[in-house]
Amino acid sequence: MSGPDPTGWRRLHPVTPLFRSLQLLYGYAIGVLAASLSVGLSLAFIIGFGVLIAGWAVLSYLRFSYRVDEEGLVVKHGVLMRQRRVIPKSRIQNVDLRSGLLQQLFGVATARIETAGGGGSEASLHVVGHEEGVRLRNALVGRFSDFAAAPVAGESEAEARSRLDTSERQVGLLDLVIAGATSNRAGVLVGALLGLDYVFGVVPTDWLLRRVMPPELLAPETAANALVEAAGRDLSAFLVGLAALTIFFGVAGWGLSILMSVVRYFGFTLRRIGGELQVSYGLFTRREKGLRRSRVQNVQIEEPILRRWLGLATVKVQTAGYGPELKADERMEVLAPIAKRREMAAYVQEVFPDLDPSSIDWRPSHPRARRRMFLRRAAVIVLVVAVLSIISLHALLLLLALAPAWLLAHAHYRHLGHARSGSFVLTREGLWTRRSYIVPVRKIQALHFRQTPFQRRLRIGTLTVETAGNPLDWHAPRTIDLGLDYGRELQAKLGTEVTATGLVF
């Protein structure tokens, strides 16, 4: 594909007014419906206002133009107030192409330009042809300065790109089913189904219970509530009903989790062309993203407990293109929704080729971390027992839970750690979902060593690594419960390295 004309302005796709009109008319239709029910509106008024909306969409389309030149992306827009925006290539982190079902039918997509530190998209081209979106992505992200090859005399950009070092990885349908089945999301969905059934009665629990329990134990339309009452009248019937509900909600939650995984990541493909990473996936909403691997702030390897037992994990990357006000998951881009543990090194080296996985030597947190984690769990147990023992002394039996609390604290401690490998810092934490982060030293913006009151008492603390677009939250790279002196020494050492290396977005 030939490069962009540095002097030629381009318009959005000709179907843009249609999509813009539909977008505006959707909100207009809701307002008209509400107004018609309250005060009544004439048909002529409704049609006339709809025509005005369509006319505004056409004017907006005619007054919107863009081009790619040596500066970057230049956008001119505005009907009443004209604006001209220049987005330098040096600031662009990602180019995200998204297309819903209707957009896929027309062969168009919305191109979103993400820049360092932006709270949202710096520019949104709604809509462009799919080929034009790919051209924009190649022009703004796939720069030859990041690649191992550049055009030679008489060679087109497409021919030069064909000489680049490339790789491609795909995730099949069976792997997506496994990803959904092993996600911690299934438990959340089970809770959501239980809540919906309790509040709205949308789940056929009554129908199910009437087929596994004696009808005399279940009053009409009150089967779920009567299940609790049945415990005192017929224990075996109660256990059968409870088992049936457990299996039903478990299978339903599991099935929904699998369905969501397949719909979201259908056709998942990861490509590397020189120094550019391209990710594409999605069934109903197709998403294609291009980013330079030199702009990746950190890599995250996520291992829910079930996947960890099966030797599976999810690989994600973060760039500076998403603002800190977004949720943690929205600031990450998936490189592999599911992958075997033995494939982790290959995925990571697609992003950080300088990282040597064989040189990683994990160092555990301070041994006193085990005590702190036990005390946190023990405090909750003791508090619950103290409250319940006011009602019945049998609540003291709950103190037996202190034994598994110690085992959980020990297991949690085993999953804490940090490591150094060349110019990279690695951190690891999490019991139910273990998250490992790989952060290049050159991407570190700040280092925070913090202590809670309990940590101060035990002379330990947590070192948090802050990168662009990654605020101090529960999903930031951090190493928990380091010894006080060692933690401060590590903070100072990393700070010196960052100063010597220099910050690179």
Task: Give the model confidence (pLDDT) of 114-138 as tens digits.
Answer: 887 555 677 889 889 999 999 998 8
Q: Please, are residues 253 and 260 in contact by the beta-carbon 8 Å criterion? A: no
Range with lowest mean pLDDT among 113-117, 119-123, 321-325, 500-504: 321-325
- The reply to whether 359 and 374 lie within a common domain is no
Residue 293 maps to a domain: yes
Could you tell me which of 321, 172, 331, 194 has the C-alpha nearest to residue 252? Answer: 194
**Mean pLDDT across 459-473:** 82
Residue 4 maps to a domain: no
Percent residues over pLDDT 90 in the chain: 40
Could you tell me which of 302, 301, 267 has the C-alpha nearest to residue 287? Answer: 267
- The reply to whether 101 and 136 lie within a common domain is yes
Give me the amino acid identity at 1. M
Residue 3 has pLDDT above 50, yes or no: no
Q: Using CA of residue 21, residue 25, residue 28, residue 32, what is the dihedral sign?
A: positive
Task: Give the model confidence (pLDDT) of 189-248 as tens digits.
Answer: 776 766 666 666 666 677 777 777 776 666 555 556 666 666 667 777 777 777 887 888
- Domain holding 421, by residue range, is 269-365+416-501
Secondary structure (H, E, C), 283-299: CCCEEEEEEEHHHEEEE
**Mean pLDDT across 346-370:** 91
- The reply to whether 183 and 246 lie within a common domain is yes
User: pLDDT band at residue 400, thresholds of 50, 70 and 90?
Assistant: very high
Residue 459 has pLDDT above 80, yes or no: yes
Percent residues over pLDDT 70 in the chain: 77
CATH number at residue 71: 2.30.29
Domain count, the chain: 4
> Which two structure tokens, joined as six digits, stand for 317?
């990357």
Mean of the per-residue pLDDT values of the chain: 82
Give pLDDT, residue 239: 79
Beta bridge partners of 316: 300, 334
- The reply to whether 337 and 442 lie within a common domain is yes
- The reply to whether 295 and 361 lie within a common domain is yes
Residue 381 maps to a domain: yes
**Mean pLDDT across 321-350:** 79
Q: Which of 213, 231, 265 is the last residue of a domain?
A: 265
pTM, 2 dp: 0.82
What angle do the packed helices 43-62 and 16-38 form, to 10 degrees? 150
Residue 145 has pLDDT above 60, yes or no: no
Residue 446 maps to a domain: yes
Residue 482 has pLDDT above 70, yes or no: yes
Residue 210 maps to a domain: yes
Angle 334-468-498 from CA coordinates, rounded to 5°: 115
User: pLDDT band at residue 1, thresholds of 50, 70 and 90?
Assistant: very low
Task: Give the model confidence (pLDDT) of 77-110 as tens digits.
Answer: 888 888 888 888 888 888 899 999 999 999 999 9
3-state secondary structure of 87: strand
Residue 159 maps to a domain: no
- The reply to whether 321 and 245 lie within a common domain is no
- The reply to whether 197 and 324 lie within a common domain is no
- The reply to whether 209 and 286 lie within a common domain is no
- The reply to whether 291 and 359 lie within a common domain is yes
Give pLDDT, residue 91: 83
Residue 304 maps to a domain: yes
- The reply to whether 335 and 446 lie within a common domain is yes
- The reply to whether 294 and 347 lie within a common domain is yes
Task: Give the model confidence (pLDDT) of 265-275 as tens digits.
Answer: 999 999 988 88
Q: Which residue has the higher pLDDT, 346 or 144?
A: 346
Residue 3 maps to a domain: no
Could you tell me which of 89, 475, 167, 143 has the C-alpha nearest to residue 298? Answer: 475
- The reply to whether 388 and 407 lie within a common domain is yes
Q: Which of 94, 125, 142 is the last residue of a domain?
A: 142
Give pLDDT, residue 120: 61
| CA-to-CA separations, 46 to 20, 34, 39, 43, 259, in angstroms, rounded | 18, 13, 13, 5, 40
